[in-house]
Chain A
Amino acid sequence: MTNEKTVQTVSDITRQIKQSLETTFPRVWIQGEISNFKQHTSGHLYFTLKDEGAQISAVMWRSRVATLALLPEDGMKVIARGSITVYPPRGNYQIDCDQIQPVGVGELQLAFDRLKKKLAAEGLFDDEHKKPIPEYPEHIGIVTSETGAALQDIRSVLLRRFPSVEVILVPVRVQGVGAAEEIAAAIKDLNLYGNVDVMIVGRGGGSLEDLWAFNEEIVARAIYDSRIPVISAVGHEIDFSIADFVADLRAPTPSAAAEMVVKDRSELIEVLRNMWYTMHRSIEEMLSSLRDSVGGFVTSYAFNRPRDLLRESSQRVDELERGLHVAASHILQLAERSQRALGQRLEALSPKAVLLRGYTIVRKQGKIVVSSDDLDEGDVAAIQFHDGIVTTRVEQ
């Protein structure tokens, strides 16, 4: 296309170089060490990737920076993924990164261990700083993503166990650069707001990178400084975060945090019912023993006064009892309702509900037949429908 005699402009040749490079290297993985790292005020990252023999300019645009678990720094060994682009005004080429990962788990793990050791030495994990979790919280703060699975999990557990609470959500980003700062600020805000009894801080499962915000020092310090007790709920059972060590209570998952933070309503209703019963029985006993002891002296003038007292007391107990019955019937209704709801759930599992959906149960000599091999020609079988049983003979 070109020969030695064709003279081109700088722009022309640059355009060709650009086209050639960009089509040859649309996606590359480059391992190297970061140097000259700069984050521009615009949010874009500029740095150089280098090894012993060469270096290449690199850029990461702000929109991609948001997905990073850990902001790169000079000296960090990384694998960068991206495309090679040419910037004509400067006549240079660079890698336009869409992903930067520390090499292996090494970097993140090292950072984790370093911080854990430092904070442990400062005493941030010590038991004496752990605040008790209130037994019956009425206002529960939650620091997590508004759109994440964690919020939905917590919500459904609270609905099932104890819906009479108020949840105050502080929505935050839970991963990427800046997430840790948002989480820490949210914990502080809940403390400033003040009207929560306990807070759950966490997110659903993910990779070590995804969970990284909960391993940042700023989050650990915010949890430590919180006057309000903090339950950490980060990832799955097996994931341990720095936040877990410093929190007042560690829940293995967000659902588990919700289970821990409220009691089961039906259990509480049972507790209240028992207390009613005990109060009632005690006062009855007290009165009857008083009746007995005073009984012998009622004719005596000297005991008229106590007798009046007793009579008044009895009347008062009667009145109170009427009040008790109103309250008791109320609690009984509640208990019944929760049992009925349970009953409905059990019914959905019962064979009858299945039969209602059009399935049948086949029995041979009273035994349930689960395989067609169990029936031979000529066998008599009973087919149970939801509304009755039909006897049939197998033809084939």
Chain B
Amino acid sequence: MTAKKATKQTFEEAVKRLEEIVEALERGDVPLDKALNLYEEGIQLSRTCSQNLKAAELRIKTLSKDIKGQFELTDLREE
């Protein structure tokens, strides 16, 4: 486990890590100090995950290339 990551953790990574933490805590074979750290991390992670689930609006963007061949994203117009 790396302490801090520069890049944003993906939802998948967060859930995977959360699963690891839950498993470790459930096994109960980690020393208390480490368990508390894991617990804290787990709470942070689950908070991030639930934030992620909260977004209720589906974002649809259209990918196109401009004349220089650079990618452009535009919101899809709803009819």
Contacts and interface: CB of A to CB of B under 8 A. Distances in A.
Nearest to B10: A138
A165 B4 CA distance: 25
Nearest to A138: B11
B33 to A, nearest CB: 8
A54 to B, nearest CB: 49
Interface string B40-79: 1011001101101111111111111100000101001000
B43 A324 contact: yes
Contact of B21 (A137, A193, A279): A279
A136 B10 contact: yes
Contacts of B11: 136, 138
Contacts of B12: 134-138
Interface stretch (A1-9, A315-323, A365-373): A315-323
Contacts, number: 123
Given A135-B12, A334-B50, A283 B35 contact: yes
Interface in A273-317: 275-276, 278-279, 282-283, 285-287, 290, 309, 313, 316-317
Nearest to A280: B39
Interface of B: 10-12, 15, 18-19, 21-22, 25-26, 28, 32-33, 35-36, 39-40, 42-43, 46-47, 49-50, 52-65, 71, 73, 76
B63 A327 contact: no
A137 B43 CA distance: 22
B36 to A, nearest CB: 6
Contacts of B57: 163
A8 B43 CA distance: 97
A269 B18 CA distance: 13
A158 B43 contact: no
A317 to B, nearest CB: 7
Nearest to B47: A327
A168 B18 contact: no
Interface of A is mostly: helix
A386 B18 CA distance: 49
A279 B25 contact: yes
A337 to B, nearest CB: 9
Please classify how large the interface on chain A is, using the bins under 10, 10 to 19, 20 to 34, 35 or more.
35 or more
Q: Give the 5 A-B CB pairs with smallest separation, nearest first.
A: A282-B25, A164-B55, A136-B12, A167-B60, A163-B58
Contacts of B52: 164
Nearest to B39: A283
Contacts of B43: 276, 279, 320, 323-324, 327
Given A317-B39, A327-B50, 19 more contacts: A146-B62, A159-B58, A164-B52, A164-B53, A168-B61, A169-B60, A170-B63, A170-B64, A189-B65, A189-B71, A275-B18, A275-B22, A275-B42, A279-B42, A283-B25, A313-B32, A317-B36, A320-B40, A327-B46
Given A138-B11, A276-B46, A155 B55 contact: no
